[in-house]
Amino acid sequence: MFETLTKAPQDKIFALMAEIAADDRPGKIDLGVGVYKDDEGDTPVMSAVKKAEERMLATARTKTYIGVAGNKAFCNAMVDLALAGAAPADRVRAVQAPGGTGALWIVLTLLKRARPDATVWISDPSWPNHKPMAEQAGFRVEAYPYFDPATRSVRFEQMLAKLDTLGPDDIVLLHGCCHNPTGANLTPAQWDEVVASLSRTGAFPLVDLAYQGFGDGLEEDAYGARAVARAIPEFVLATSCSKNFGIYRERAGCAIVAGKNATAADIANSQMLNIVRGAYSQPPDHGAEIVRTILEDKELRAEWQAELEAMRQRMVANRQALADAIRARSNSSDFDFVAEHRGMFSLLGLGVETVNELKAQNAVYMLDDSRINIAGLADERIQRLADAIVGATR
């Protein structure tokens, strides 16, 4: 049977995780996978999550099936968190998904059924899993200009010029906030221009919102998704609870679709249910129930928001501290952009030789395109990282 196959490529993020785990040098610096870490380098369970789990344990009466759409109250709360009424409820449908990646898979499969010959456009560069996922769904994948390595910011004019050439057979995958891997994000005014372009051309928006609350704030980070929802009658949105609730391994996310009217939305929803039932039948409940418990309870929700905001501010502070430390050592503003970027990641713009040198000489691990995860950089690690980067780029 399997002699017909060749070895599949390994995902580079998970390959790097294994490489880091195998390195027993003390003081190694892990800037790889997109997981939030505190000053000790740990990824603790959020206090609101712990409390929600305690309540669940005390009150749970059954473990019977939840249904193909998953936890409906969770889905409603997730739609509200992302869209806050930006699209009329009668045109919006949602199903619970196994994580943000699961949500992406559901909406890509739905779009393939709806428009099999479409091309999916992803940003250049994009999250390493976007292209393989869209290809696995059967789409042709192209890239639109996004990041300018010279300025380390968005090449907005080129991006818009490309989007203006697209049409109804094109699906545009947009990072809702906290662009992965670059850290360079669209401003609200730029989102408005992107939305106007999509309205003009009829190209279809797929918004990936995996980091709501990690960039400029919970509401601010939803600007793009809400601008799309207000102006464009049909769109899909994939959201994740992995990062902002810190429940990575629980795999909770939500696949959201808006149709032109309630009938179209019902049809799209029935297709999503059919996709889920034919793949894994129903999603697991635990992560979604944690999120529902938190979002529906005033006190737990306030506690979660405060914890999330503290995480966000720590990442902003880490960015400033790293930019300052590099500037102090190099006497140059070359890495000041790190403080301007938002979210968990920044693309440093180092060549792969430098990335490998940092790994070999300093036990500093980042993705081969020089994406770093800014969380988990306690002060002592920031100083050592700045030494290593300045040493390797001199």
Report the C-alpha gap between 125 and 145 in whole angstroms.
8
30 is catalytic: no
Nearest distance in Å: CB 129, ligand LMR:
6
Please report how close the Cβ of residue 248 comes to ligand LMR at its closest, in angstroms.
8
User: Left (φ > 0), alpha (ψ -120 to 50) or beta: where does 99 sit?
Assistant: left
Nearer to ligand LMR, 104 or 203 (CB): 104
Pick from 257, 215, 248, 258: nearest CA to 345 = 215
Measured from the CB atom, the residue of 182 and 269 that comes closer to ligand LMR is 182
The token pair that represents 319 in the structure block: 């960015």
Which single residue is written with the structure tokens 């898979």?
A: 105
Residue ranges in 204-233 that form contacts with ligand LMR under rule CB under 6 A: none
x/- track of binding to ligand LMR for residues 168-197 (CB under 6 A): ------------x-----------------
What residues from 9 to 38 belong to the interface with ligand LMR (CB under 6 A)? 13, 33-34
Active site residue 208: yes
70/100 with CB nearer ligand LMR: 100
The residue written with tokens 């929802």 in the block is 229
**Separation CA 325–CA 319 (nearest Å):** 10
Instruction: Report in angstroms how near the CB of residue 282 gets to ligand LMR at its nearest.
Output: 22
- Quote the crossing angle between the two packed helices 379-393 and 298-330, to the nearest 10°: 40
Q: Is 266 a catalytic residue?
A: no
Nearest residue to ligand LMR on Cβ basis? 34
Looking at this protein, which amino acid is placed at residue 77?
Answer: A
Please, which residue, 364 or 390, has the CB nearer to ligand LMR?
Answer: 364
From the candidates 37, 131, 243, 359, give the one annotated as an active-site residue.
Answer: 243
| Shortest spacing between CB 316 and ligand LMR, in angstroms | 19
- Count Cβ atoms below 10 Å from residue 227 Cβ, excluding itself: 21
Distance of alpha carbon 126 from alpha carbon 108, whole angstroms = 16
* Cβ nearer to ligand LMR, comparing 253 with 259: 253
Q: Residues 91-130: x/- map of binding to ligand LMR (CB under 6 A)?
A: ------------------------------------x-x-
Angle value at C-alpha 35, between 30 and 36, nearest 5 degrees: 95
Report d(CA 367, CA 118) in Å as an integer: 31
Instruction: Report the nearest approach of ligand LMR to the CB of residue 13 (Å).
Output: 4
Report the alpha-carbon distance of residue 11 to residue 15 in Å, rounded: 6
x-marked contacts with ligand LMR along 31-70 as a string, rule CB under 6 A: --xx------------------------------------
Residue 41's region, left for phi above 0, alpha for psi from -120 to 50, else beta, is: left
Q: How far is CA 66 from CA 71, 95, 245, in A?
A: 7, 12, 21
Per rule CB under 6 A, is residue 287 in the interface with ligand LMR?
A: no
List the beta bridge partners of residue 97.
Answer: 253
Amino acid identity, position 88:
P
* Of 127, 170, 184, 229, catalytic: 127
Q: Are 232 and 205 in contact (CB under 8 A)?
A: yes
Residue 24 designated active-site: no
> Least separation, in Å, of the C-beta of 254 and ligand LMR?
16
Instruction: Given the residues 103, 210, 222, 238, select the one marked as catalytic.
Output: 210
Q: Is the CB of 197 or the CB of 318 nearer to ligand LMR?
A: 318
- Site residues, ligand LMR (CB under 6 A): 13, 33-34, 127, 129, 180
Which positions are annotated as active-site residues?
A: 127, 208, 210, 243
